[in-house]
């Protein structure tokens, strides 16, 4: 079956829409890019967080539209910014010419004070609520990597800024990239139209090895060490259920129509990665979410070297079930109706940016801020249930006052203790 990108925002439609027609659109009046310029202005892109994903996202953004330039990039580590700049200049010599570089913990503020239209937020997620709020207040369109927060106060802050982004008609593109994959879109379209009947259970797994760890060098302060190994510190990453397996959580949310779960119970712990270089996060989780009408969603997430790897989703309905394995290109329905995806393949990361820039050009910027916040919070609920060993309701999780970031403003020479590893039955929900 053929499946295409969201029709309203396909590049073909954009190319076929005249600048004059767009300039006449009422929606454009509220655009941060001046109305008369929306279709034709050179869009100035800024990258904040120049690591692996940020460099990829900037490359995709520069490919997505012919009339863009990389106006700025920012990082806390100069060599990261330099590496990204060199790669991007090699890939896009005509679009990376007068790029400004901002280095430091306040780099986001200096980027936003400069002349930019679209900001790519790809730092560790602990910074996302603050960066997103600042970008929205400054009237920028945002490409926002997942997850968007690491704790409930961060999600609430993000949600407030999300409201403002809609009032200002800003675009917010989401890093939940599977939602841009044609095969996933076609499969979830089948689920949404009832091909497997009412969904009663979802099982999803993200079982992998251990990501990189950077041994502490002499002279690195506590903050530098933690930032360079951000995945292992909950205030920066949210733990791997929230940072990585959130993709699987997001597909579960998609299958359940993005409604909130009622509550969650969860197992988890740290068995293999017990050394100090792995910070204080867990290495495995098994979460059971309860949804309305007795439906259940189960997520297994593991980061342990030498163990079985899998990233799959299994969705059970009253008339059949659906198997998805995005990396193995398996998208199949079995039951009253048999179906499998045989349409075109796409580079989901590129599609995210193609559709985003086309929507900005059309004066109707895509805004997925709510879905970003929602799936992030579902994952945080799972972590809270695992850390505490309690059954936790959606309301209690969302109302949590626990802010994981250090209380005092960040400085390079600050003392940063590593928090204790959570202990189910003893760690409290705050």
Ligand X SMILES: NC(=O)c1ccc[n+]([C@@H]2O[C@H](COP(=O)([O-])OP(=O)(O)OC[C@H]3O[C@@H](n4cnc5c(N)ncnc54)[C@H](O)[C@@H]3O)[C@@H](O)[C@H]2O)c1
Say if CB 29 and CB 35 are below 8 A apart.
yes
Pair type for strands 330-335 and 172-174: unpaired
Q: Binding string, 200-239, against ligand X, x = CB under 6 A?
A: ---------------------------x------------
Task: Tell me the closest approach of the beta carbon of residue 109 to ligand X, in angstroms.
Answer: 10
**Binder to ligand X among 60, 99, 122, 229 (CB under 6 A)?**
122
Task: Tell me the closest approach of the beta carbon of residue 56 to ligand X, in angstroms.
Answer: 8
* 68-76, 272-280, 355-363, 418-426 -> range binding ligand X (CB under 6 A): 68-76
Task: Tell me the closest approach of the beta carbon of residue 51 to ligand X, in angstroms.
Answer: 2
User: Which CB atom, from 117 or from 243, has the smaller least distance to ligand X?
Assistant: 243
Distance, CA of 119 to chain centre:
14
Say if CB 85 and CB 96 are below 8 A apart.
yes
Q: Which long-range contacts (CB under 8 A, 24 or more apart) does 161-165 make?
A: 161/129, 161/132, 161/133, 161/136, 161/137, 161/369, 162/136, 162/367, 162/369, 162/370, 162/372, 162/373, 164/136, 164/137, 165/136, 165/367, 165/369
User: Which CB atom, from 213 or from 288, has the smaller least distance to ligand X?
Assistant: 213
Tell me 376's DSSP state. H
Task: Tell me the closest approach of the beta carbon of residue 96 to ligand X, in angstroms.
Answer: 17
Count of residues engaged in binding ligand X, rule: CB under 6 A: 26
Triad 26, 32, 37: Cα angle to 5°: 70
| Pairwise CA distance, residues 71 & 220, whole Å | 31
User: Which CB atom, from 53 or from 296, has the smaller least distance to ligand X?
Assistant: 53
Give the CB-nearest residue to ligand X.
Answer: 51
**Binder to ligand X among 52, 194, 209, 292 (CB under 6 A)?**
52
User: Which CB atom, from 49 or from 129, has the smaller least distance to ligand X?
Assistant: 49
Q: Does 123 bind ligand X (CB under 6 A)?
A: yes
Q: What is the 3-state secondary structure (H, E, C) of 290-356?
A: ECHHHCEEEEEEEECCCCCCEEEEEEEECCEEEEEECCCCEEEEEECCCEECCCCCCCHHHHHHHHH
Q: Does 145 bind ligand X (CB under 6 A)?
A: yes
Q: Does 279 bind ligand X (CB under 6 A)?
A: no
Q: Does 376 bind ligand X (CB under 6 A)?
A: no
User: Which CB atom, from 96 or from 107, has the smaller least distance to ligand X?
Assistant: 107
Report residue 246: phi and psi, to 5°.
Answer: -60, -25
Say if CB 175 and CB 145 are below 8 A apart.
yes
Q: Does 303 bind ligand X (CB under 6 A)?
A: no
Q: Does 77 bind ligand X (CB under 6 A)?
A: yes
* 121-129, 150-158, 268-276, 415-423 -> range binding ligand X (CB under 6 A): 121-129
Q: Does 150 bind ligand X (CB under 6 A)?
A: no
| Cis, bond preceding 147 (omega within 30 deg of 0) | yes
User: Which CB atom, from 127 or from 291, has the smaller least distance to ligand X?
Assistant: 127
Q: Which residues bind ligand X (CB under 6 A)?
A: 48-54, 74-77, 80, 105, 107-108, 122-125, 127, 145-146, 175, 177, 227, 243
């Amino acid at each position: 079956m053929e499946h295409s990108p969201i029709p309203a925002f396909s590049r073909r439609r954009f190319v076929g829409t005249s600048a004059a027609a767009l300039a006449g659109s009422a929606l454009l009046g509220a655009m941060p890019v001046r109305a008369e310029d929306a279709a034709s202005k050179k869009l100035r892109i800024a990258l904040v967080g120049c690591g692996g994903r940020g460099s990829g996202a900037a490359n995709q953004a520069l490919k997505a539209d012919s009339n863009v330039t990389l106006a700025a990039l920012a990082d806390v580590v100069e060599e990261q910014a330099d590496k990204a700049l060199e790669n991007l200049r090699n890939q896009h010599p005509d679009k990376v010419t007068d790029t400004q570089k901002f280095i430091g913990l306040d780099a986001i503020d200096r980027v936003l004070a400069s002349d930019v239209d679209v900001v790519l937020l790809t730092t560790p997620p602990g910074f996302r609520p603050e960066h997103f709020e600042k970008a929205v207040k400054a009237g920028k369109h945002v490409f926002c990597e997942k997850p968007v927060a690491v704790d409930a106060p961060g999600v609430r802050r993000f949600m407030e800024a999300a409201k403002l982004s809609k009032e200002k008609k800003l675009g917010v593109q989401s890093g939940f990239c599977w939602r841009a994959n044609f095969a996933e879109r076609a499969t979830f379209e089948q689920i949404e139209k009832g091909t497997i009947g009412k969904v009663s259970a979802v099982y999803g797994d993200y079982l992998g090895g251990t990501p990189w760890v950077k041994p502490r060098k002499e002279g690195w302060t506590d903050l530098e060490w933690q930032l360079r190994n951000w995945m292992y510190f909950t205030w920066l990453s949210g733990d791997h259920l929230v940072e990585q397996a959130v993709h699987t959580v997001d597909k579960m949310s998609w299958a359940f129509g993005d409604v909130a779960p009622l509550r969650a119970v969860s197992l988890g712990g740290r068995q293999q990665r017990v050394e100090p270089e792995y910070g204080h996060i867990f290495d495995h989780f098994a979460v059971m979410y309860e949804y309305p009408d007795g439906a259940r969603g189960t997520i297994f997430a593991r980061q342990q070297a030498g163990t079985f790897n899998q990233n799959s989703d299994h969705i059970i309905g009253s008339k059949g079930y659906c198997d998805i394995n995005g990396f193995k290109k398996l998208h199949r329905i079995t039951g009253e109706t048999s179906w499998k995806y045989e349409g075109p393949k796409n580079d989901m990361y590129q599609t995210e940016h193609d559709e985003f820039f086309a929507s900005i050009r059309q004066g109707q910027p895509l805004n997925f801020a709510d879905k970003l916040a929602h799936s992030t919070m579902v994952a945080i609920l799972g972590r809270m249930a695992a850390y505490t060993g309690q059954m936790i309701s959606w309301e209690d999780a969302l109302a949590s006052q626990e802010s994981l970031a250090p209380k005092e403003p960040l400085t390079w020479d600050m003392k940063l203790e590593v928090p204790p590893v959570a202990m189910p039955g003893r760690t409290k929900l705050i």
